Every structure is written in C-alpha cells, then in structure tokens.
Structure 1
Amino acid sequence: EILIFSYNSDTFYKVLSAFGILQTIFWINLSSLSLVEVKSDRDVSFLSEFQQKHKNKLAGGIILLGWGIIFITFLFFSLMYPLRTVKKIALLKNNKEIQLFTYSFFGKTRSLKVNLDDISCKQSREAKGSHLPMKIRGKFFYFLLDKKSGTFHEPKLFDQVVGLNRSL
C-alpha cells in the first residue's frame, strides 16, 4: 500500500469532541434552570413581572435555542465534521481501491475501503481554498482534505488516481 495523503490533527478533534459535550451539558442545564421559579424578597420590577407572566414562553424559547445549539455544535461539529475530514489516503496493492481514514469521536480513527470508480474530486489539488472536497458514491456530504495542513506524499499519483473529477 502507498500512502498518498496524510493530515494529523488528533488534538483538535479531541478538543472539538469535548467542546461539543460541554456545550450539550451547558444548554441542557440552562434549559432545565429556566423552568425553575426563582423567588426573591425584593420589590416586583418590570422584568420580574414580565418573567412571571411569560415564564412558559421564556422557558420554551430557551429550550428551543439550547437544543438548536446542541444540534449544531454537538451533532454537526463534534460528530459529522470529524467523520468527513480525511486523515489518510492509501492506495491498496490491487491499484483499484483506496483505504480512506477519517476521524471519529474524540480523535479516534475509522477506515473505509473505496473503489476508485466511486470517488470524484470536485476541484484540482492546486485550486484556491484550504479544503479539497471529495465525493464518494453512496455517502452523504463530501469528504474534506485539508490542503494547507495536510501533506500530499505522492502528488502526481493523487492527481492521476484519486483526484479525478468522475461522474458518479
């Protein structure tokens, strides 16, 4: 097997997973606290009157906001983004398949064997931008290769074998 591309950022994906978990805990806690009635001996101000009058609406709004942020930060950034970031690409000995390694939760790695006919790169390696989108037949979303921080060990082989724009 020939290593074509590699990108190492394990620490970033571990921190990203921890951030997603902390955001989830924070917003669940905030949404549950919004349902708790706070009693005070101070005189009633406009804000506390408004809070008492619209308590359920405020709590519902905070819960919706919190769960929306949980969905975006945890599910997308902490789970989906690492699954679509390419860590390594290796051409297998039969020259018809590649072994694609992506990140998983907490910086772990997952691998996928892909037939070369099922891969299509939408841009050239020299195109502007920091990421190279790669589509794999039968998979949602694009896989992303980080062109700035990643290393193309065999750039000509990548261009001739993996980096082609095929119709899927």
Structure 2
Amino acid sequence: MSSMLSIALRCSTNSIRLPPYRLQKTTTLFQQAIIKNCNSIGGFRSGLSVISRNFCTRNIDINTNVAKDVVLFTYENPKFYKVINIFGIAQFVFWTYLSHFALTTLKDAPVEENPEVELSWYQRINLGENKYRNGISVFCFLVGYGILFSVWMFTLRSVRFLILRKGGNAVSFVTYGPFNRNRIMDVPLNCMSAQEARELAKVQLPIKVKNKSLYYVLDMRGEFKNPKLFDYTAGLKRNL
C-alpha cells in the first residue's frame, strides 16, 4: 500500500509542474481518496486509479512558447490614476507654499519673561527663532514631497497591461504613469515572482521583480485574458 502511494505521489509532483495552489489541491484530493477508500485493498487501489487519471494523465501541458505576443492581464482605470496624481500635485504645491510662508513670514519675537506670571510651555516657544522656523519649513516641504512621491510610486507600480512576449521567455509590464503616460518594462520570466496565487488573491496580486524596489501590483478588478497561461508563466512563485 505504501509503495502504491509513493508511486502516485511521484507521478503527481515530479512528472507534472504544478503551481502551489494546484499542489495543495492535489494533496487534499489524495487525503480524501485515502479516507474514502481505505476500507479495503481493492477500494484503495481504485482510489489511486482515480487519482492517476485526474493528475497523471490530465492534459496540463500549457504551451508557453507563444508564436506572438499574448495579453495576460488588463486593468483599465485611467480616470482614477489621473485624480490621485492631481491630488498629489495639489498637496505638493500646498505644502511647499506653506513651507515658504513659514520661512519668510515667521519673525524672531523673543518672549518676555515675567517672574510674576508663569507661562505655559507653548507660550514660551518663539516660533520665529531660527531652529523652529527652519524646522517648520523643512517639515512642511517633506510632507508635500512625501505625498507626491507616494502617489507617483503607487501609480508607477500599478500594472495596466501584462503581456507575454513572443517565445514565452519574457513579460512586458505596461504600467500607469504620471500625466497619463504609460511606462513599459520588459522582464525575463526568471527575474520575476508572483507573491500569491491568482485564485487566492482577493484585492491585489503583488509581483516581485528582481533588482526593483517595491512590488508591481495587479488589481484583481482587472481581467485575466488568459488565466491558465498566466498561471504557468507570470503567476509562478520563483526564488530570486
């Protein structure tokens, strides 16, 4: 019995390259078949035969050597990214103006000390003093710059189109960009890794690209044009 089980396991894992979520389904089906059919040797053999038919002879040979470029994923929402880019620019302008206002308007006005009156801590602060004036100016500028940087990085990491290039060895990331300009980057398949299975992702599917900071994000509200081809190319988790 143990030898038959080992043969079935080798058949389902070694001879077939399955994505992680399919391997999990395979293991679950093995367990269900064993529990259901372990009352007799004949039943156990029949369970293994069912597993063999489902996994060892299933036609999962996906041809990734495509003859032309194939669109794997699309997400069309340019209006949203236009709005958040306008928001980021507006915030940058506002906080930069506030920084300039603080630097040029705050005057050095020392607080007069009166021994008869005890002032609160905030009343003893001279905002016109150089360290406070410069600190406020730098802080306001960094807030505006941080908001703009975050908005632009989110936009540049949001995938609009994911295209499997001719030959099946590389993928093109077409991402949104500031001012409605798309950015295109070609990445070999062995230099990218999906951090989650497509069927398990709920909101976003992050993809790590070698030597790139942050993740490229596939919004699950988009459309997978060829889901099986995606699972066996861009959707695989790899060690980078």
Distance in 2 (CA, whole Å) between partners of 1:63 and 1:129 is 42
- Do the aligned residues in 1 keep the contact of 2:207 with 2:215 (CA within 8 Å)? yes
Asked if 1:157 corresponds to 2:225, the answer is no
| CA shift for structure 1 position 83 | 1.1
Structure with the higher fraction of residues in strand conformation: 1
SS in 1 for 2:103: coil
Asked if 1:2 corresponds to 2:76, the answer is no
SS in 2 for 1:156: helix
Asked if 1:24 corresponds to 2:92, the answer is yes
- Do the aligned residues in 2 keep the contact of 1:84 with 1:144 (CA within 8 Å)? yes
SS in 2 for 1:99: strand
What amino acid is aligned across from residue 196 of structure 2 in structure 1?
Answer: Q
| CA shift for structure 1 position 51 | 8.8
| Distance of aligned partners of 1:74 and 1:160 in 2 relative to their CA distance in 1, 3 Å threshold | same
Match of 2:150 in 1: 76
- Do the aligned residues in 2 keep the contact of 1:15 with 1:106 (CA within 8 Å)? no
Partner deviation per Cα, 1:6-42 (whole Å, 9 max, x = no partner) = 0111112122221111111111111222234489xxx
Bigger radius of gyration among the two: 2
| Distance of aligned partners of 1:30 and 1:159 in 2 relative to their CA distance in 1, 3 Å threshold | same
Match of 1:103 in 2: 176
Higher relative contact order (Cα pairs below 8 Å, separated by 6+ residues): 1
CA RMSD of aligned residues (A): 2.4
Identity %: 33
What amino acid is aligned across from residue 53 of structure 1 in structure 2?
Answer: N
Show structure 2 runs of 5+ residues with no match.
1-68, 108-118
SS in 1 for 2:208: strand
Instruction: Give the TM-score normalised by the residue count of structure 1.
Output: 0.84
| CA shift for structure 1 position 4 | 0.6
SS in 1 for 2:87: helix
| Distance of aligned partners of 1:104 and 1:37 in 2 relative to their CA distance in 1, 3 Å threshold | closer
Instruction: Give the TM-score normalised by the residue count of structure 2.
Output: 0.60
**For this pair of structures, how many residues does the alignment match?**
160
